[in-house]
Homo-oligomer: A and B are copies of this chain.
Amino acid sequence: MPVHWQERLAELPDVLRSRSKPRTVILLGDLAIGGDEFVTIAGPCSVETKVQLLSTADRVSRAGARVLRGGAFKPRSSPYSFQGLGAEGLKLLALARERTGLAIVTEVMSECDVSLVAEYADILQIGSRNMENSTLLAAAACAGKPILLKRGMVATVTDLLRAAQCIVSYGNPNVMLCERGIRTFDTTTRNTFDAAAIAILKQVTHLPVICDPSHACGNRDLVPALARIGVSAGADGMIVEVHPAPEQAWSDGEQSLGFDGFESMVADLRPWIELNRSLRSKQSKAEQVEAMQ
């Protein structure tokens, strides 16, 4: 590890990868995040209706997803705009879990909602806009559920690790880091996908790293390529937006895959995932040999 990273990481003791702590594996029933399996998280941007959610859960589950995503609380930009289904959305997510066995991840946007969301979700998502919201980080950390922590739009890799350190220091070691694109001068894509950050994170932290190809590009035609890039960079999983009818989605339709698109992407990714697994296994053996010398 280069010297200047070591310096930056000095204040971040609990997230630092080391020989004695090479990786954190987060267990959720029979699901292990950060282990040998590449974990697919999929679902709609927002929970809209029972039919929408259950049909999506059904299809992504059959295609190999292990976790269902879906927003119940959305940013409230005015008293009149759609603010998510709230508690009703959480109940639909729980119903989907019951029917498919998928674990549930959903965003918590306010510390006042933490206990409610934690009652239903298996994983709490902290959104990009809240990555530096330290009161929310503290409250979410204390809810006892794994956290999916999305990188802020202009957060450096160190900023992301600092937010993770904050969560861990509140007693919650189960943090997944999520690279979802950063804001730069180039607006060809919605954000600039920082694939190198995934590779760096896998070198410096023991926490699992998830890539979000949907938000990184904002365009469904590019999602499969970005997922492939994420796998090659070493991600432990991906979170993808899927909708029964993307062009009718209430939010983020442009970047959502339809069912067929999702299925064919998952199928196409398999050999890349396999290749990444071999590479890891080779690296892991090399590290063990080195450690024994």
Which residues does A use to contact B, with CB under 8 Å?
1-2, 5, 73, 75-80, 109-113, 129-130, 132-138, 153-154, 156-158, 162, 165-166, 169-171, 182-189, 192-197, 199-200, 203, 216-217, 219, 221-222, 225-226, 228-229, 231-234, 268, 271-272, 275, 278-279
B234 touches A232 (CB 8 A): no
A77 surroundings in chain B (CB, below 8 A)? 134, 162, 165-166
B132 touches A75 (CB 8 A): yes
Q: Nearest residue in B to A191 (C-beta to C-beta)? A: B196
Q: Nearest residue in B to A78 (C-beta to C-beta)? A: B169
A113 surroundings in chain B (CB, below 8 A)? 135
With contact pairs A186-B157, A271-B275, A275-B275 given, residues A229 and B232 touching in the complex (Cβ less than 8 Å): yes
A89 shortest CB reach to chain B, Å: 15
B153 touches A154 (CB 8 A): yes
Of B109, B111, B130, B233, the residue contacting A112 (CB under 8 A) is: B111
A188 touches B199 (CB 8 A): no
Question: Beyond the given A75-B135, A79-B138, could you list 10 further A-B residue pairs with CB under 8 A, ordered by the A residue number?
Answer: A2-B219, A5-B188, A76-B135, A76-B166, A153-B154, A184-B184, A184-B192, A186-B194, A192-B194, A275-B275
Q: Nearest residue in B to A225 (C-beta to C-beta)? A: B199
A156 surroundings in chain B (CB, below 8 A)? 185-188
A112 surroundings in chain B (CB, below 8 A)? 111-112, 135
Q: What are 19 A-B residue pairs whose CB atoms fall within 8 Å in the complex? A: A1-B221, A75-B134, A79-B171, A112-B135, A129-B133, A182-B185, A184-B185, A184-B192, A192-B194, A192-B196, A193-B196, A196-B216, A196-B225, A199-B226, A203-B222, A228-B232, A229-B233, A271-B275, A275-B275
B199 touches A229 (CB 8 A): yes
